[in-house]
Amino acid sequence: KVLVIGANGQLGSVLTKELQKKYTIENVIASDLRQNEEYKGIFEIIDATNKNRIQEVVERYKITQIYHLAAILSAKGEETPLATWDINMKTLFNVLEVSRENNIDKVFFPSSIAVFGEGAPLDNTPDNAYLNPATVYGISKAAGENWAQYYFLRYGLDVRSIRYPGVIGYQSLPGGGTTDYAVDIYHKAVLEEEFECFLKQDTMLPMIFMDDAIRATIELMEAPKDSITVRTSYNIAGISFSPEEVVSEIRKLYPDFKVNYKPDFRQEIASRWPKSIDDASAKKEWGWQPRYDLKDITEIMIEKLQKKYKKGSKSKE
Ligand code: VAH
């Protein structure tokens, strides 16, 4: 039985559906701070800062795997640094401790390219680059990676982790991330509204299509235990692009798409992140291979969002 913590989030909501397909509906327990009315399946309210609540659900459903997808993201996290640290670390400690105490088979901990900063190569950043995170979110993810490795080395807990690039999907909205522009831009294009970009047009960032990110997660979790040598976190790469590159891709379908660039504090954050990622270890050790490039992503995002808005009759997201 699989428990997803943060199942209402940008990644959690899509991952939960994939896990239901894989393990059937009755073997997946979705959870988040608030009930999700549209959710079809077993749902429990869990505030992951409350360890006893996680314990209760683990016992009740005899959980064997936990995916911990709850965290405050990079941009949002800068508003209340100490609260972000508390939430991101307390929830992780609770998941690690409950998993250790209940002999959970496998735990997934999402990390991020946000762990990199000054001092790491900006191009083809390797797994073992010097981590120098500049956001509280990044600091909490770098610390989280080390705690994940500690629980593996000290207690043998099988914790696995991926450093996600910016994730782009049509199925859910991101919340509080620095890469969120890359999702919002497609919504604005399809709604034929002007897009205001909070990053400079040439800001190159590593991104990944949601379907690739979710498949990578499940492939890592299904890899044979002894093929995993990285117990902090694996880099994975999808495709790197800048705002101007995605704009020109969109204009192939929406020639009049209007954009104005208004960089804000998120430009600071993005300028310290890698432009591209070296994911050789993930490719070698568990067969990672991205399938979607910017052209594919743009075609799919626009096709899916056109359907969504036609059906929702222009209901604003
Ligand atoms: C964020 N989408 O922007 C997340 C992610 C690589 C970026 O960690 O905070």
pLDDT tens per residue across span 15-41: 999 999 999 999 999 999 999 989 999
Count the Cβ atoms, other than its own, within 10 Å of residue 90. 14
Find the mean pLDDT for residues 82-107.
98
Residue nearest ligand 1's atom 3 by CA: 177
Residue of 108, 135, 93, 103 lying closest to 4 (CA atoms):
108
At residue 303 the predicted structure's pLDDT band, cuts being 50, 70 and 90, is very high
- Cα Rg for the chain, rounded, in angstroms? 19
State the distance from the centre of ligand 1 to the C-alpha of 91, rounded, in angstroms. 18
> How much is the pLDDT for 317?
45
Distance, CA of 28 to CA of 39 (rounded, Å): 12
Of 160 and 313, the one with more pLDDT? 160
Pocket mutation for ligand 1, best pick of 76, 79, 112, 135 (most atoms within 8 Å of C-beta): 112
Q: Which residues of 273-304 are buried (b: 16+ CB within 10 A; e: fewer)?
A: bbbbbbbebbbebbebebebebeebbebbbee
Residue 10 alpha carbon, nearest atom of ligand 1: 2
Please, which residues have CB within 8 angstroms of residue 99's CB and are 6 or more apart in sequence? 66, 107, 151, 157, 159
> How much is the pLDDT for 312?
63
Distance, CA of 198 to CA of 61 (rounded, Å): 43
Catalytic-labelled residue, pool 67, 137, 164, 292: 137
Please, which residues have CB within 8 angstroms of residue 301's CB and are 6 or more apart in sequence? 168, 170, 186
> How much is the pLDDT for 199?
98
Residue of 253, 257, 248, 241 lying closest to 292 (CA atoms):
241
Q: What average pLDDT is seen over the chain?
A: 96
Query: Ligand 1 site: residues with CB under 6 angstroms?
Result: 73-74, 112-114, 137, 164-167, 174, 177-179
DSSP type of residue 25: G
At residue 311 the predicted structure's pLDDT band, cuts being 50, 70 and 90, is confident
Q: Residue 32 corresponds to which amino acid?
A: D
β-partners of residue 261 are 197
Catalytic residue flag (residue 137): yes
State the distance from the centre of ligand 1 to the C-alpha of 163, rounded, in angstroms. 10
Residue nearest ligand 1's atom 1 by CA: 177
Q: Which residues of 162-199 are buried (b: 16+ CB within 10 A; e: fewer)?
A: bbbbbbbbbebebebbbbbbbbbbbbbbbeeeebebbb
The SS3 call for residue 168 is: strand
Residue of 213, 206, 8, 245 lying closest to 113 (CA atoms):
206
Residue of 171, 303, 288, 294 lying closest to 234 (CA atoms):
288
Find the mean pLDDT for residues 185-204.
98
> How much is the pLDDT for 313?
55
Q: What is the pLDDT of residues 133-155, one digit of tens each?
A: 999 999 999 999 999 999 999 99
Give the global pTM.
Answer: 0.95
Find the mean pLDDT for residues 120-139.
96
E strands, 69-114, where? 106-112
Distance, CA of 276 to CA of 102 (rounded, Å): 39
Residue 179 alpha carbon, nearest atom of ligand 1: 3
Q: What is the pLDDT of residues 267-295, one digit of tens each?
A: 999 999 999 999 999 999 999 999 999 99
